[in-house]
Structure 1
Amino acid sequence: MSSDSLVADQTDHPGEEIAVTAAGAIPWRLNSANEDELEVLLIHRPRYDDWSWPKGKIDSGETIPECAVREVEEEIGLVAPLGIPLPPIHYHVAAGLKVVHYWAVDADGAALLPDGREVDSVMWCTPEKAARLLSNPGDVEPLQHLADAHARGELETWPLLVLRHAKAKPRSSWTKAEGDRPLAATGVRQAQAVGRLLRAWKPVRIVTSPWLRCVATIAPYAKAAEVKVKLNESLTEHRHNRSPHKTAAAVEGLFDKQRAVALCTHRPALPTVLKQLAKHMSGRLRDELPDSDPFLAPGEMIVCHVARGGKKKVVAVERFRPFDD
């Protein structure tokens, strides 16, 4: 799933340009009295007198995940990381074809504060009841995907993010130690954008190559979120060249704590990193991983959603590039 998709990928609208892009989420929780019972949150919009999911149009300079997080907070006061991606829906509006990207979001007992203007009431209900109440029939598809994931034990997840550092100054113009090569001016701006994008998944720990260009890439997020950063030499280019198995081990270690984590490394190490991640995926998901150089653009990231539990199973994969000025 790409943050810069501009053409419909639904068979109903092959090749049609998208005129309006929006994003939102389906908040969910497990019933406090019966934790096996899934509930989802419907919102009522007085302007349209309809039942829907929290969502809204993308702002200029914003990525789609950022839009989803912002809209959920603005409409119902829920501040929470994005969970597994859900199928986008497409339909026509006055401006043309509209696409709405959805994610599952674990409400986890959070208090909800509908804004009162765009959303005047909310309702927790079972997926079956929600399917009957939804005003737009297309909104049923992401709901069904969410319910099916719950039935498979793949709805409760934590994110593992792999990030390539932002654009650095060219090697040809740098005469000092390779580990001290800094970000280019473009890379500094990319790092700020990376920081904003990472907030969509709220990693609570960061593991990075200690080389300056990696540390500078994750610094804006780490500072803003007050997240501890662990430096790991196995993620540098030089150490990877000598001992790729240690790089693979560093990736494998990310699964142990089952907590949201971001890893930042270099292009030459990405094949080893991706190969290790692939061991935890189905063949379908492995096919979604980049398989040719440069694998990721500077500042680009892959988001792996890992099912909670002891199986270390990746159940969804996304790929995003921060807004590039």
Structure 2
Amino acid sequence: MEPRDVRAAGAVVTRKGGDVLLVHRPKYDDWSFPKGKLDPGEHTVTAAVREVAEETGLDVRLGPALSPQRYRQSNGRWKSVDYWTARVVGGDDVSGYRPNAEIDEVEWVPWKDAVRRLTYPYDRDTLAEARPLRRRTRALVVLRHGKARSRGAWKKDDRLRPLVRLGETQAQRLVPLLAAFDVTVAHSSSSTRCVQTVTPYAEVTGWPVKLYDELSEEGATVDGVVDVVDALLESGESAVLCTHRPVLPTVLDALGVPDVKLEPGAMLVAHHRKGRVVASELLQP
């Protein structure tokens, strides 16, 4: 039985003017994008942000996802790398980077020069895919609440039905994922299970939570949901919208993206620019 792929994640980091962030690895004498292997139990999204920070010293937020790479390493094992486009948060100066045994050079390279500088053909393909997606976008994260107590076991008002322990764990694990997409506000159904799902993120970051009866199962209407989604697309901010399985098709239709099944704690990230969704991706918990 062939061993599982080595899993890694990284980002094509760009800045205004068209420069691309590249790193040089002395062990292989190659130029590539910042990337690295996942820690045990780590989500690929979290790994991508962490690896960029570790290899370049820069903090980034992710944009649209790119096609994953898969190639055979020199030791014969296959490696799969998930990539996103990304932008730096804060200063992007790398002149003070301290070389080490893993990465000895970090450099902003003009786009045309990056095509020539990259060592591997698959990295050049990834760069070409990133080109039309390099413009800054905002993220609207459509989130299904975490695993809740069953309806049959809950005899009180269904709007008060809470998360079970698994749901609470899912809510905690969402914190770095939402941060990776620069979420600065949570818009949630007023039902307890949705509020509990976004509360850990709000507590860690200090960003506000806004509650809507219009996003609850009991209070949702097509017009109400569409009004909320349209306002978020026009707001110019990155946000998470937490709601329920029966309401999700209306939300996704308002966004103009295909209807997909979201498991409890899963999310669809809609990357939008000037009120229009330009890319979307499904992330399971």
TM, length-normalised to structure 2: 0.93
Amino acid in the other structure paired with 2:206: E
Runs of 4+ in 1 over 6 A off after TM superposition: none
Q: Within the alignment, does 1:272 sit opposite 2:227 as a pair?
A: no
Specify which structure has the higher proportion of strand.
2
Q: Within the alignment, does 1:121 sit opposite 2:99 as a pair?
A: no
What is the aligned counterpart of 1:156 among 132, 136, 147?
136
With over 3 angstroms needed to count, the CA separation of the structure-2 counterparts of 1:231 and 1:62, relative to structure 1, is: same
Q: Could you say which residue in structure 2 is the equivalent of 1:254?
A: 232
Q: Could you say which residue in structure 1 is the equivalent of 2:124?
A: 140
| Residue 17 (structure 1) shift | 7.9
Q: Could you say which residue in structure 1 is the equivalent of 2:265?
A: 299
Q: Could you say which residue in structure 2 is the equivalent of 1:60?
A: 40
| Residue 170 (structure 1) shift | 0.7
CA offsets per residue over residues 18-39 of structure 1, 9 Å max, x none? 51111101111123xxxxxx11
Amino acid in the other structure paired with 2:252: L
Amino acid in the other structure paired with 2:78: L
Alpha carbon RMSD of aligned pairs, Å?
1.7
Between the aligned partners of 1:106 and 1:196, the Cα distance in structure 2 is 16
CA offsets per residue over residues 202-250 of structure 1, 9 Å max, x none? 200110011110011011111111111111110000011xx33212211
Q: Could you say which residue in structure 2 is the equivalent of 1:130?
A: 114
Decide which moves more: 22-31 or 115-124: 115-124
Paired residues of 1:77 and 1:115 also in contact (CA < 8 A): no
Paired residues of 1:81 and 1:202 also in contact (CA < 8 A): yes
Paired residues of 2:5 and 2:78 also in contact (CA < 8 A): yes
Q: Could you say which residue in structure 2 is the equivalent of 1:110?
A: 92
Amino acid in the other structure paired with 1:246: G
Between the aligned partners of 2:114 and 2:194, the Cα distance in structure 1 is 44
Give the unaligned 5+ runs of structure 2: none
| Residue 115 (structure 1) shift | 5.6
SS at the partner of 2:253?
Answer: helix
Q: Could you say which residue in structure 2 is the equivalent of 1:11?
A: none
SS at the partner of 1:249?
Answer: helix
Paired residues of 2:13 and 2:85 also in contact (CA < 8 A): yes
Q: Could you say which residue in structure 2 is the equivalent of 1:100?
A: 81
Amino acid in the other structure paired with 1:78: L
| Residue 49 (structure 1) shift | 1.6
Between the aligned partners of 1:235 and 1:87, the Cα distance in structure 2 is 33
SS at the partner of 2:27?
Answer: coil
> Where does 1:157-196 land on structure 2 (aligned, <5 Å)?
157-196=137-176
TM, length-normalised to structure 1: 0.82
Q: Within the alignment, does 1:320 sit opposite 2:283 as a pair?
A: yes
Between the aligned partners of 2:4 and 2:132, the Cα distance in structure 1 is 28
SS at the partner of 1:81?
Answer: strand
Decide which moves more: 117-126 or 168-177: 117-126
Between the aligned partners of 2:97 and 2:190, the Cα distance in structure 1 is 43
CA offsets per residue over residues 147-189 of structure 1, 9 Å max, x none? 2334xxxx21111100000000111111111111110111111
| Residue 111 (structure 1) shift | 3.4
Between the aligned partners of 2:150 and 2:98, the Cα distance in structure 1 is 48
Between the aligned partners of 2:98 and 2:51, the Cα distance in structure 1 is 11
Give the unaligned 5+ runs of structure 1: 1-15, 32-37, 279-285
Between the aligned partners of 1:272 and 1:115, the Cα distance in structure 2 is 50
Paired residues of 1:75 and 1:114 also in contact (CA < 8 A): no
Q: Within the alignment, does 1:200 sit opposite 2:180 as a pair?
A: yes
Between the aligned partners of 1:17 and 1:162, the Cα distance in structure 2 is 35
SS at the partner of 1:298?
Answer: coil
SS at the partner of 2:69?
Answer: strand
Q: Could you say which residue in structure 1 is the equivalent of 2:6?
A: 20
| Residue 131 (structure 1) shift | 1.2
Paired residues of 1:134 and 1:140 also in contact (CA < 8 A): yes
- Count of aligned residue pairs for this structure pair: 280
